[in-house]
Amino acid sequence: MDSFSDSNPANLGGWNLAFPRRERWKHLRRWLNAFVAALLYFGVPRMGYGAVAFVQLTDPHLFESKKRQAQDMENRAAFKACVAKINDLNSTLQLTNRPGFQFVAVTGDLGIEELNPTNRAAQWQNAITTVADLIHPSAITNWLFVPGNNDLEAENPDTIWKYHRFLRELKTRLLGLQQVTDLCPPGDNPSHSVAATYYVGPYCFLGFNDASFKSNDSGKDARRFQAAQLDCVAQVAQELTNQWIGIFYHIPDIENPFWDFDASPDALHQLSLEKGMAGDPRLNSAWTVASDVRRAWDQVVTNTNVKALMAGHFHSAQREVYRNFTWMKEKGYESVAADNLKLFVCPPVACKYQNDSELQARGFRTYSIDNSGRISSDIVWYGFRNDTDIPAAARRIDR
């Protein structure tokens, strides 16, 4: 009789118990050694590949009729289409025995700066209804938010109360349907924000309120906002104790592609004067801040616990802006340093500055974290046609 046959009553699960006792222990030790070696090589499974999967949406600009007539409806249609596509992708994940997306993070610029809950209360309530109606069809229960510069009035950090109120009322409107989480909620001072944490297993996600850090491209405003901006960075810095941290925020501290691709020499000259007034040495940065604000942020970026930085803000129709950072000319940005590459920039939902472009760069990002804590991301372009000019491997970004 074959000693490894299922018909052998002494054979259990491939272990032949007809061996002498010494031989059985010998084989058992060999199996245990192989198992331990496999754990050391592959890592102890914590949550399973894809167990941490999420989506980033940014810059929907849903309420900008005064600035850009007729774009509101297009942007809302794009947001609706993105939610439907996210639902499709979520179903596909679940069909492969994965848990689906844990949350959707919206990294700023709902576009509420023109809204006023007091003077135009009906318009304010209609805006809350609009966002609730767009989110309600989502199969993803948890929605996280951080503010953008177009959620403030004139990029003034003291007007963050409007964003806080909008999120609070949106949360009430969606109660029992979707869970709305403000990752930059008010602290003791309602005009300021704190950095809230959101955990998925061992992974910690933080909100960073840098909505004012563009400072209207004004050195004068950068100095005026300096204390509030330093406080926003400090709020994040005190939350860096977890061993795996991802930070959601709006404006990345790298070159603004507008200054690289579209600005005139006169505009760049004026920008250099404004940056100089702020003490800001990085001419083309999307931030206009005092030098001590950037130094404080660089300390956050280089902290070894910070594994991923996820931002938005850009509206360039150049798709390479969102795929990689080889287009940048200036050096010295810590978030994209070769030995510290942590930044992901999400393309916008809105058509702002892209209406005249034959090929637009709009959509959203999906992310997954593997068992080793490595984060990967794909871009899903609006229209949901993959780029055919580059291989899929080049479209995927790993950190």
Question: What value does the mean pLDDT take over residues 76-102?
Answer: 94
Residues 199, 137 share a domain: yes
| pTM of structure | 0.84
Task: Give dist(CA 81, CA 212) in Å, integer.
Answer: 29
Compute the average pLDDT of residues 227-251. Answer: 97
Q: What is the mean pLDDT of residues 236-252?
A: 97
Pick 41 or 285 by higher pLDDT: 285
Looking at the DSSP assignment, which residues form a beta bridge with residue 205? 198, 246
CATH code of the domain containing 193: 3.60.21.10
State residue 37's pLDDT score: 42
Task: Give the residue-averaged pLDDT of 129-145.
Answer: 98
Question: Do 31 and 19 fall within a single domain?
Answer: yes
Range of the domain at 273: 46-398
pLDDT at 227 over 70: yes
Q: What are the distances in angstroms from CA 358 to CA 152, 155, 337, 354, 361?
A: 31, 31, 32, 9, 10
In the structure encoding, which two tokens stand for residue 339, read together?
């030995």
The verdict on 53 and 38 lying in the same domain is no
In order, the DSSP letters of 326-355 are TT------GGG-TTS--EEEPPPSS-TTTT
pLDDT the model gives residue 384? 52
**pLDDT of amino acid 169:** 98
Between 39 and 341, name the one with better pLDDT. 341
d(CA 385, CA 315): 19
Instruction: Say whether both 173 and 37 belong to one domain.
Output: no
Does the pLDDT of residue 3 top 50, yes or no?
A: no
Residues 164 and 226 both lie in one domain:
yes
Q: Are residues 309 and 186 in the same domain?
A: yes
Judged by DSSP in three states, 125 sits in helix
pLDDT band at 26 (very low <50, low <70, confident <90, very high): low
State which of 91-100, 180-189, 386-395 shows the largest mean pLDDT.
Answer: 180-189
Q: Are residues 22 and 64 in the same domain?
A: no
Domain check: are 151 and 80 in the same one? yes
| Residue 58: pLDDT over 60 | yes
Tell me the pLDDT tens digit for each residue of 340-397: 899 999 999 999 999 888 889 999 999 999 988 999 999 999 975 554 544 443 344 4
Could you tell me what percent of the chain has a pLDDT over 90?
A: 69
Question: Does one domain contain both 169 and 247?
Answer: yes
- Band (192; pLDDT cuts 50, 70, 90): confident
Q: Do 17 and 97 belong together in one domain?
A: no
Domain shared by 7 and 81, yes or no: no
Number of domains in the chain: 2
> Token pair for residue 220?
């004068």
Whether residues 62 and 30 fall in one domain: no
* pLDDT for 43 beyond 60: no
